Amino acid sequence: MSQPSAELIQLFQPVEEGLDAMRACLTGQLEETSGAVSDMTGHVSRFRGKQLRAALVLLSAKACGTYTAEHPSVAAVVEMIHLATLVHDDILDGAEVRRRVACVNQRWDNQVAVLLGDFLYARAFALSTTLSSRLCSSLLAETTRTLCIGEIEQSSRRYDFEVERETLEGIAAAKTASLYAAACELGARYPGGEVELGETMKGFGRDLGLAFQLVDDCLDLVGDSRVVGKSTGTDVQDGKVTLPVWFVYRDASTAVRAAIRDAYTRPNVEDRAALLKEVVDVRPGVDATLARATALLEGARARLAPLPETPSRASLEEITRFVLRRTW
């Protein structure tokens, strides 16, 4: 399992040992005798992941004083579910590159990628059933339901420029923030009890995750895929009206609105993102979205106020800043 960047290694320092245990656990879970499956899990392991969600489990536990020997396994379950969602997401989005590595649907094909996502999801739940508390499997089953609903809602709103802003944020919260919230809540609450701290950390994770997705939407629109490390422009190609585009459309004249819709519905999907940026300046929408992300991250930091001042709490605070300045 590859390591995250130097900046994140620094932020994850308080839970270094737990992350090593999480990686060892993950590697063990992905071992298979089938050569074909091993090739694919080996490929997924080359994804240079941030392992941010796993680190959030561990940092939340340390910051709340609830860390147990089982937390690295809980973190591995969260990370495997995350990997499963990425493999499935890249099929849905027709993506080609993820973390500078060919997506599974590209390196192999969609059929096999569906099955690998299912495999990863099955391994995650198999591991969760070995834990002493059912909290991990019950909370993550509920989270997976929410993730799927978010993706289905997103798909049903494609090409819908009249969509309410709250609906768009609700989709981002469901498809992305829910797993951040679950990671932080599990860190604070596992194996049970500590409901109040769990709620605090769930709120922290939700704000952080929503901000993360809003930044992601900006990167998809204006980021350079070589820097971001994954395919960009896929939202416009797929007809997804993300928050930066929503702001731009809201403030556009009738003629420009028509040009935006035209760009979104070009028969050659590859041209759509470039055309959109030719017909309208998307920067004000990006700035408004980043302002919203900044406010969410300030709120996330404020939620940490009841926690004692520890290196783990300091890392959680710094992660909120990382989310805004990240380029990948």
88 binds ligand FPP (CB under 6 A): yes
Q: Name the closest residue to Mg ion (Cβ).
A: 93
Least distance to Mg ion, CB of residue 12, Å: 24
Region near Mg ion per CB under 5 A, out of 18-26, 91-99, 108-116, 293-301: 91-99
The sign of the dihedral angle between the CA atoms of 327, 50, 170, 207 is: negative
Say which DSSP state 163 is in. -
The interface region with ligand FPP, picked from 40-48, 90-98, 185-193, 304-312 by CB under 6 A, is: 90-98
Q: How far apart are CA 185 and CA 40, in angstroms?
A: 31
Residue 194 binds which of Mg ion, ligand FPP, none (CB < 5-8 A, kind-dependent) = none
Residue (of 179, 201, 206) closest to 189 by Cα position:
201
Partner that binds at residue 88, options ligand FPP, Mg ion, none, CB closer than 5 to 8 Å by kind: ligand FPP
Q: Candidates 14-22, 88-96, 163-171, 201-209 — which segment interacts with ligand FPP by CB under 6 A?
A: 88-96
Segment interacting with ligand FPP, rule: CB under 6 A, options 12-20, 78-86, 193-201, 298-306: 78-86
Say whether residue 93 binds Mg ion (CB under 5 A): yes
Nearer to ligand FPP, 94 or 191 (CB): 94
212 binds ligand FPP (CB under 6 A): no
Does residue 176 interact with ligand FPP by CB under 6 A?
yes
Q: Is 220 in the site for Mg ion (CB under 5 A)?
A: no
Residue with smaller CB distance to ligand FPP, 147 or 297: 147
Which span (140-148, 184-192, 263-271, 304-312) binds ligand FPP, by CB under 6 A? Answer: 140-148
Cis status of the peptide bond prior to 72, with omega within 30 of 0: no
Contacts of 210 (CB under 8 A, 6+ apart): 169, 172, 173, 176, 177, 293, 296
CA atoms of 14 and 315, how far apart (whole Å): 8
H/E stretch holding 135: helix 135-156
Strand (E) positions, the chain? 97-98, 101-102
118 or 298: whose CB is closer to ligand FPP?
118
CA distances from 303 to 60, 84, 294 (A): 12, 30, 14
Phi, psi dihedral angles at 267 (to 5 degrees):
-60, -35
CB of 104 vs ligand FPP, minimal distance in Å: 13
235 binds Mg ion (CB under 5 A): no
Q: Is 238 in the site for Mg ion (CB under 5 A)?
A: no
| Among 84, 135, 171, 304, contact with ligand FPP (rule: CB under 6 A) | 84
Distances (CA, A) of 201 to 157, 177, 230, 290, 304: 30, 12, 29, 23, 8
By the rule CB under 6 A, 97 interacts with ligand FPP:
no
Among 77, 293, 284, which Cα is nearest to 169's? 293
Return the half-sphere exposure (C-beta side, CA atoms, 13 A cut-off) of residue 301.
Answer: 14
How many CB atoms sit inside 10 A of residue 278's CB?
A: 10
Sign of CA dihedral 11, 19, 45, 177: negative
Window of 88-96, 126-134, 158-166, 313-321 that interacts with Mg ion by CB under 5 A:
88-96
Which residues fall within 8 angstroms of residue 155, CB to CB, at 6 or more apart? 92
Q: Which is nearer to ligand FPP, 71 or 175 (CB)?
A: 175
For residue 283, the minimal CB distance to ligand FPP (Å) is: 20
| Contact residues for ligand FPP, defined by CB under 6 A | 84-86, 88-89, 92-93, 95, 117, 121, 144, 147-148, 151, 175-176, 216, 220, 230
| Contact residues for Mg ion, defined by CB under 5 A | 89, 93
